[in-house]
Each structure stands twice: as structure tokens, then as C-alpha cells.
Amino acid sequence: MEAYIQEALFVLFQLCFIIQLYYLLSNHSRLTRYVPRQELPAATVPVSVIISARNEARNLTENLPYILQQNYPDYEVVVINDCSTDDSDLILQDIQREFAHLKIVTVNEHVRFKTGKKFALTLGIKAAKNEHLLFTDADCKPATLNWITRMAAGFTGSVQIVLGYSPYTRTRNFLNPFIRFETLKTAINYLSAALNGDAYMGIGRNLAYTKSLFFGAKGFAMHMHVMSGDDDLFVNQNATPDNTAIEIHPDTFIYTDAKTTLGGWFRQKKRHMGVGALYKNKHRRMLSFDAITGFLFYVLFILCLVFKFEPILALGAFVFRWVLQLFIYRKVFKKLDSGDMLWSLPLFDMIYYIYLNVFGLIGTFIKTTRWK
């Protein structure tokens, strides 16, 4: 009986191994071959940059002037001061005196109703004068002054959604390496899916779409009851093979600081993972299958070694997958400003799949009630 159990577990290990190879070769390899446009494109469309900010006085002081000085001839910046209780209103008024293309929208807290980010963004989109909208957050800073130029250039032909990349700044905090790795793996997944014509999410720190698409889809109406999802759920419900493009030139990277405490990181991830259940069925299946088989691959690999059933073959499969990851991810990590993380793959990749399953369960059973 024990021999049958060992054989069944090894067969399951092999199956997980094959499925993980499929994800690497069919999905992620597409991003390896993708080459962003190097020459600086000409400005073609007016742009409205939209930022929702709640109690972000310090970040607005540090980051907003840089966004207001972008090398782009025709754009405005719409900041929604969302029920702030700090000095955000005074900061914004001071900055507006220097930059006339800053538009301020103020949301006041209602006595009976609590509003979230989606409500604030909706007001900002309504206030925007331009068709092409570019989104980021108050705690974010573009890598260069050409951020708008390159992101706006993605609106060609039938494109209505442009997905950007937003890495976390590298620090010495003990959580920082894994947070950067998780963000990188998430980006590889959603950017590769978009290149394969099946975009399923985007990140609101660096995302663009058209005003007509937003109102044509009735905004966030389908998921207004969920606190998160202003970015990934909107893309999941509205992206098509023809209307979505990506932009990963280093000029377009949006940097922000990662959480520095376990509590802050936990709350952030719980909020983000809670919206996965509202993805389209095919995307839920795709992501769940990757998460479960990736987790089982590592669990069964360890069992093969500990209980010594086919340990040589198990080790060979592990090394083969790792080498294939190195081959595929080498260029991708470098493109996404994360070349230093390549050799941490074996450890962080295992932690990543544990994290996906743990937070997937947490997001399913524990609902978040606030966005900040």
C-alpha cells in the first residue's frame, strides 16, 4: 500500500511539473521576446492624469510636482482629495498656484455613507477634460519625465487600455526582497497574458484607458460593492485581444515604497487578493491552477527527497525547471529592473506559491471594508 501511495504522489509531482513547464513556455516566454520601442514617440493625444489621494500630504509634496513637470505638451493632472483630514487641501492649493494644469476635485466625508477609491476616481474621471486617461497614486513617482509620452503612445489603432509596470523601490527592509519578487512575478503574469491576447488585470499605479471605455462599461458599477478592484477588475471585465497593449520601457516605470511592516503588508495583500473571486471564470481557473500546481510541485518535491521515492528523478525535474526559469526570466528580470533577484528564484519562488495559496484562502473568507 505504501508503495502505491508513493507512486501516486510521484505521478502527481510529474503532472505538476509538466503544468508548470506549460505556464513557463506558453505564457511567460512571450514577454522574453517582447522589445519595447526605444525611440521617443511624438505626442499624439491630450492626456488627463488622475490621482486619488486620501491623507497624502507628504507624498503630494514630494511626488506631484514631478508629475506636473512631465515632458508632454498637452496634459492636465486631476487630483481627487478624497476625504482627507490632513493638510492635503492646503498643499494642493499651494501647488496649483505654481502649476495651472493641476485640477483639484474635493470629496467630503458623508455622515451616513462611507465612500471608497472607486467613487473618488469616478468623480475625477468625470472632471477630466480629455479622452485618454492615465492613472497613478499619490505615493508613486515616475522614473523619468517621459512617462506620459511613452504611455500615451500606446493608444494606437483600436487600443483603449495600456498596461504599465510599477516596481517597488529597493530598500534594506527585511520584507522588501520578497515584496519586490511578488510584484515582479505578478507583472510577468499579467503582461504575458496581455501579449497572448488574454489580458486579465492591470495595476492602478500605472494604468491608462479611455474615458469612452469607462462610461461605455458603466464605470465601476459591476463591482462598486467591492472595496478594491478599481484597476484589475476593470481591466478583467473590459480587456479584449484588440483593445489592450503593454508598455514596459524603463522610462514608464512608476516607483513606490513597499510596506515595511508585516501588518501593513498583510492588510494590503488581503485587500488585493479578495477581488480574485470576481475575475472571469477562465482567468480564475488559470490563476488557481498555476497557484495550486506550483505549491504542490514544491511540497511533493520535498516529500520525494524526505521519503526517498525517486529522489534522483525529482531532483532532476527541480533542476530542469529552475534552469528553464533562469533561461526565460533572465531577460525579463533585466527588462523589469530586477536583475538582482534572478538568483533568489529557488527560495522566493517557493515562498511565492505558498503566499498565493494562503492569501487566496484569506481573500475568500475575510472581506475588507476599507481601501486605506
Per-residue model confidence as pLDDT tens digits over 38-59? 999 998 899 999 999 999 999 9
Give the pLDDT confidence score for residue 140 in this predicted structure. 97
Helices (H), 117-222: 117-127, 147-152, 176-195, 211-216
Report d(CA 103, CA 364) in Å as an integer: 38
Between 267 and 333, whose confidence is greater? 333
Between 175 and 227, whose confidence is greater? 175
| DSSP strand pairing (207-210 vs 132-137) | antiparallel
Q: How far is CA 124 from CA 72, 116, 155, in A?
A: 20, 13, 20
Give the pLDDT confidence score for residue 193 in this predicted structure. 96
Which of 27-36, 176-185, 359-368 bottoms out in mean pLDDT, i.e. has the lowest? 359-368
Q: 2-22 vs 281-306: helix axis angle to the nearest 10?
A: 130
Report d(CA 44, CA 30) in Å as an integer: 28
Give the pLDDT confidence score for residue 40 in this predicted structure. 94
Q: How far is CA 279 from CA 53, 185, 201, 223, 286, in A?
A: 26, 19, 9, 11, 11
Do 29 and 194 meet the contact criterion of CB atoms below 8 Å apart? no
Question: If pLDDT is split at 50, 70 and 90, which confidence band does 116 have?
Answer: confident
Share of the chain above pLDDT 70, in %: 93
**pLDDT at 167 > cutoff 70:** yes
Compute the average pLDDT of residues 26-31. 90
Which of 68-72, 292-296, 310-314, 368-372 bottoms out in mean pLDDT, i.e. has the lowest? 368-372
**pLDDT at 34 > cutoff 70:** yes
Give the pLDDT confidence score for residue 362 in this predicted structure. 66
Give the pLDDT confidence score for residue 317 in this predicted structure. 96
H or E element: which one contains 340? none
Beta bridge partners of 76: 48
Give the pLDDT confidence score for residue 109 in this predicted structure. 77
Do 135 and 254 meet the contact criterion of CB atoms below 8 Å apart? no
Between 246 and 368, whose confidence is greater? 246
Q: How far is CA 240 from CA 52, 349, 356, in A?
A: 26, 30, 26
Question: If pLDDT is split at 50, 70 and 90, which confidence band does 91 have?
Answer: very high
Helix (H, G, I), strand (E, B) or coil at 170: coil
Give the pLDDT confidence score for residue 338 in this predicted structure. 93
Residue 251: how many CB atoms within 10 A of its CB? 20
Give the pLDDT confidence score for residue 350 in this predicted structure. 96
Give the pLDDT confidence score for residue 276 in this predicted structure. 76
Backbone φ and ψ of 181, nearest 5°? -65, -45
Instruction: State the pTM of this model.
Output: 0.92
49: left (phi over 0), alpha (psi -120 to 50) or beta: beta
Give the pLDDT confidence score for residue 22 in this predicted structure. 94
Compute the average pLDDT of residues 140-157. 97
**pLDDT at 371 > cutoff 60:** no
Among 84, 78, 130, smallest CA distance to 102 is for 78
**Average of per-residue pLDDT values in the chain:** 91
